Amino acid sequence: MSRKKGDIAEAKVAVYLKKRGFTILEHNFNTKVGEIDLIAKKLDVIHFIEVKSGSTFEPIYNITALKLSKIIKTAQIYLKKHKVDSPYCIDACTVKDKEITHLENITL
């Protein structure tokens, strides 16, 4: 996915999440290990969200084991850097055509 398409998908997901009671804490949190597209909070739970989009395939399949490992390590860096001591989970949001799907806690 191109950066421009990724930015558009992330913006759509941010609006979608806000309408569902999430507060967006950060966009594109980067470390040497990896990047997290969106970091949001709802009911004192931090959600680290990977956004994937596509129109000719199921975007969720682009989250590989390696990608998930990088997201987890990057989330741990964020928690330590910001001294966060609250529950958290790793989520995925997919954008396919005009449909957004939010899958919570994909690491279980």
Return the domain boundaries, the chain: 3-103
What 3-state DSSP class applies to 10? helix
User: Is a pLDDT exceeding 90 seen at residue 35?
Assistant: yes
User: Is a pLDDT exceeding 60 seen at residue 1?
Assistant: no
* Closest to 8 measured CA to CA, from 68, 80, 98, 79: 98
Alpha carbon 78 to its chain's center: 13
- Residue-wise pLDDT for 58-86, tens only, equals 888 889 999 999 999 999 999 999 999 99
pLDDT > 90: percent of the chain: 80
- Residue-wise pLDDT for 41-55, tens only, equals 999 999 999 999 988
Residues in the chain: 108
In CATH, what number does 3-103 get? Answer: 3.40.1350.10
